[in-house]
Amino acid sequence: MANFNTHLNVAFMVSGALSLTVYKAGLIDDSGFLMCVALGTIGGLLPDLDSDNSTPIKLGFNITSFIFAFGLVMHWRSELSLLALMALWLAGYGFMRYVVFSIFTTMTVHRGVIHSVPYMAILGLGLTCLSYYGLQLPLTASWFYGLFLFGGAMVHLALDELYSVNLSNMKMKRSSGTAMKFYQPKDKWWYLLLYTLLAMLIYLSPPFDLFWQQLSDPAAWAQLKVDLLPEVIKNLLR
């Protein structure tokens, strides 16, 4: 399987190139461009959340632990003394970082249901719904955010599958087929739950036809064609 740096760099390059494309087509604004790059890169790290020793899960739980401890202190800041707040800060951080983290790593298996296409689709559609219904963001931006998160995750899974091929003698490694998967018989009940959640999110998701109309608008791609090449090259081709 590909390592952390490979996943990070490739996801960043792919999401950056695609974000620039839709930005130059006028489909997203400046902040939308930055969000798409960030979400695509994050998506490129998401499938390794089920790996106990992966950098993304450790970093993610560290950040979550800090946020959780900060939230506790801010909530009780007026009722508790300084020493009590310090104790609450340490207890909140320790609970998330060690207790919850330990439970999470015990319940998950690397390249299990988290490391699958339907799970990543749920995260992508979930972000789209959250952006549109919860944060009241525009329809186009909401769909792009979810698609870039999902797309980054697909880059991750594709890289893992590519690394499962021994190119020197063109043989498949034992890990082949464990990354880009849609179903595993041993986890059939988990996959039943995943596909049930996915169906619910598809039903609740914002109107895709309106997003597709904007995405397939010829005017946007005509503008992109105009801005595709530098003026120097355009002059040479004339």
Q: How far apart are CA 229 and CA 213, in angstroms?
A: 26
pTM above 0.95, yes or no: no
| DSSP H stretches of helix in 112-204 | 117-129, 139-162, 188-204
Residue extents of the structural domains in the chain? 4-52+108-226
Both tokens of residue 21?
A: 């494309």
pLDDT of residue 72: 80
Contact 69, 89 (CB under 8 A): yes
pLDDT of residue 226: 64
pLDDT of residue 105: 60
58-62, 128-132, 138-142, 194-198: the lowest-pLDDT one? 58-62
The average pLDDT across 56-75 equals 71
Q: How far apart are CA 78 and CA 70, in angstroms?
A: 14
Nearest 5°: phi and psi at 136? 60, 40
Any idea which residue has 């009241």 for tokens? 136
Q: How far apart are CA 86 and CA 125, in angstroms?
A: 39
In this prediction, what percent of the chain has a pLDDT beyond 90?
A: 5
30-39, 49-58, 111-120, 126-135: the lowest-pLDDT one? 49-58
Contact 88, 73 (CB under 8 A): yes
Contact 2, 143 (CB under 8 A): no
pLDDT(175) > 70: no
- In sequence order, the β-bridge partners of residue 172 are 165
pLDDT per residue as tens digits for the range 79-137: 888 888 889 889 988 887 777 776 666 555 555 567 788 888 888 898 899 888 888 88
Q: How far apart are CA 89 and CA 25, in angstroms?
A: 47
pLDDT(218) > 90: no
Contact 119, 194 (CB under 8 A): yes
pLDDT of residue 213: 85
pLDDT of residue 81: 84
4-13, 21-30, 46-55, 228-237: the lowest-pLDDT one? 228-237
Higher pLDDT, 33 or 66: 33
pLDDT of residue 166: 46
pLDDT per residue as tens digits for the range 73-92: 877 888 888 888 889 889 98
pLDDT of residue 199: 92
